[in-house]
Amino acid sequence: MLILAERPWRRVEAVSRLEEWFKGIFLEAGGGSVKLSQGEGGWIRVEADDERLLSSILRLNTRFDPISSVNQPHTAKVVKIGRGKVSYEYPLPDGSTIKEAFYSRGWAVQLGYEGDDVEDFLEALGIVEGMSISVSLSMPSLIQRRLFLDEVLRGLDRIVLMDLAPQEVEKVLESGFKGFAASYETITPLTHIVYLKLGASLGKASKRLEALIHSMAPRASYKPLSWRRLSKIDWNEVRFEV
């Protein structure tokens, strides 16, 4: 059995939709049976007849490693940001949950920011409650920093999608959102980032996306991330090297 460093944020039925996606990609790769369920702490458990093949497929399809491990870095879920701290959780291979918290300022510095608007900086990057992140030694990992650098270099508004399976994201984009989206990236099986086209209004895109998601998955979550807000950061206080 595999334990994923992934669990629904608010939409419990996302597990069954994710199972549909797992079965599709697994069968295409020559795999057989696969079943998803939730265990201790809500983390997704995967039973498959070829776990090694499934692990390889998942790692090829996601930005962060979705398989729980005792090794660093860990893919984790942000559960709370406030009072100067980021609280997050991740599972171990036995399904137990590790709960940790670290100072927001330390996280911002690790990502290269040395200014005063720490929590605004983290939110502008997409480190928000419910988001999947990559941590190592209680700090954002090098993988997380590379994601940050990619976001900055693209210079586009973004929308974080949570609790949607990959095939649902594709359906949303095909069902009337294509005019707004430049590209999208699967961070973990239930966490995605959609990059908007230049000239597309973040406000209009958010309203359109909200309508599309509500018709398909009412409990799914999304978070608009404005490039304008990110661009207000004093770049003299940011170190880009990774």
Query: Which sequence spans correspond to the domains of the chain?
Result: 2-61
Structure tokens at 111: 């990502």
Reduce the DSSP state of residue 8 to 3 states and report it.
Answer: coil
Q: Which run of H or E residues covers position 18?
A: helix 14-28
Other C-beta atoms lying within 10 Å of the C-beta of residue 167? 14
Q: Take residue 147 and report the two structure tokens written for it.
A: 């994601």
H/E element holding 56? helix 51-61
Q: What is the pLDDT along the chain (242 residues), one digit of tens a residue?
A: 999 999 999 999 999 999 999 999 988 888 888 999 999 899 999 999 999 999 999 999 999 999 999 999 999 999 999 999 999 999 999 999 999 999 999 999 888 888 888 988 899 999 999 999 999 999 999 999 999 888 888 989 999 999 999 999 999 999 889 889 999 999 999 999 999 999 999 999 999 999 999 998 989 999 999 988 777 665 555 555 54
DSSP state of 5: S
Which one, of 148, 146, 58, 40, lies nearest residue 97 by Cα?
A: 40
Structure tokens at 232: 């207000």
Phi first, then psi: give them for residue 123, nearest 5 degrees: -65, -40
Give the pLDDT score at 112.
Answer: 82
Tell me what pLDDT residue 34 has: 92
Q: Which amino acid is at 201?
A: S
pLDDT of 242? 42
DSSP assignment letter at 203: H
Cis peptide before 8 (omega within 30 of 0): no
